[in-house]
Amino acid sequence: MEAVRVGFQYAIKEAVQKMGATAPNPAVGCALLDGEGRLLSVGAHPAAGQPHAEVMALEQARQKGVLEQARIALVTLEPCNHHGRTPPCSEQLKNSPVQTVWIGARDPNPQAKGGAEYLAEGAAPKNVRFLADEPELLPLAQECKALLAPFASRVMRGRPWLTVKQALDGRGSMLPPPGQKTFTSPASLRLAHQLRRACDAVVTGIGTVLTDDPSFTVRYVADHEGRGPRPLIVLDRQGRMPMAWRQAREADGFHVEQCHDVASVPALLGQMGVNWALIEAGPALLKSVRDADLWDDWLAIHHEEHGGDDQLSVTLRNGRDGNESPVQLLRRYGD
């Protein structure tokens, strides 16, 4: 089981690095082991229309000359079982030397599910196992569920996973000192920019735009190469958005949308194919989001004014297990 645990950690880490690049597809990772549990290759789905994680791992093993040694596949998401822009991953694994396939989470997409059954049945059946069936591997199953949460939210609810990021000083204020745009530590800033990179869209309010002149660009970590325009939703009922600010954001690679009603934002983003959206806004909009129960997880960064590391907390709506938050994955596996 230790080889399975370690292999899945490699697969999850690889997938986490691709979060924000794969929408409308999910971020998925796959690791291949030999019969002794040695790691042969690790792959992740890089972007929609490109090879899936299983194919990436198989091809990597082929290029390294070790494909024929592959006996165990560890996949964070049930292999897809339909012909889309790429062939079914279940078919690719079926035709490989792999004998056992471990699955981290079931596919919630009705068009793609069924890969586990396909692998376990018919000619040359594979031994299919699920992390959730092994008590000692349940923490990994939760991490795979967290990795899938943004995609599952859009597929099952028609709206993305919504993460709120809120920074607070020692007095509980969100306002930075005069002349500063932030007061959090370098480590917290790095996490915030990992989160920006991992999310497919940003939501903010006109008050934040007018007060802070924010760019919402990814800086403290490298952004995804070749990234297409990302939705940037601005709650602005009175049409106060400065044209110069809008043009600057569009030059930065955003597709700026003005919205009048916060309650309509989730469905709007779902129609855009957004899996995960980040809400970066001031107290008024955050109160509206909380009152309307629109959020899924809430990252609070509490700054320590007298030195020391910032205190971070992640809360899931409805009291769900915090380990199922995709933000927690960034904290554990982010670069």
What is the model's pTM?
0.92
Q: Which amino acid is at 164?
A: V
Q: Which amino acid is at 148?
A: L
Task: Indicate the DSSP class of residue 132.
Answer: G
The CATH code that applies to domain 2-152 is: 3.40.140.10
Q: Which amino acid is at 201?
A: A
Task: Indicate the DSSP class of residue 219.
Answer: -
Residue 291 burial class via C-beta count within 10 angstroms: exposed 0-12, middle 13-18, buried 19 and up = exposed
- pLDDT for the residue 312: 73
Please name which of 60, 61, 335, 80 lies closest in space to residue 224, comparing C-alpha atoms: 335
Task: Indicate the DSSP class of residue 111.
Answer: T
Query: Who's near 228: CB < 8 A, 6+ residues apart?
Result: 253
Strand partners, 298: 164, 315
Q: Which amino acid is at 105?
A: A
How far is it, in rounded angstroms, from Cα 166 to Cα 121?
Answer: 49
Cα angle at 209 between 170 and 297, to 5 degrees?
Answer: 55
The CATH code that applies to domain 158-333 is: 3.40.430.10
Token pair for 173: 């204020």
- Residue pair 29/76 in contact (Cβ under 8 Å)? The answer is yes
- Residue pair 29/12 in contact (Cβ under 8 Å)? The answer is yes
Strand partners, 254: 230
Q: Catalytic site residues?
A: 54
Residue ranges per structural domain of the chain = 2-152, 158-333
- Residue pair 132/142 in contact (Cβ under 8 Å)? The answer is no
How far is it, in rounded angstroms, from Cα 51 to Cα 46?
Answer: 7
Give pLDDT tens digits along the chain (335 positions). 899 999 999 999 999 999 999 999 999 999 999 999 999 999 999 999 899 999 999 999 999 999 999 999 999 999 988 777 777 889 999 999 999 999 999 999 887 778 999 999 988 899 999 999 999 999 999 999 999 999 999 999 999 999 999 887 655 555 555 555 565 677 888 999 999 999 999 999 999 999 999 999 999 999 999 888 999 999 999 999 999 999 999 999 999 999 999 999 999 999 999 999 999 999 999 999 999 999 999 998 876 665 566 777 788 886 665 568 999 999 999 87
| Residue 113 Ramachandran class (φ > 0 left, ψ -120 to 50 alpha, else beta) | beta
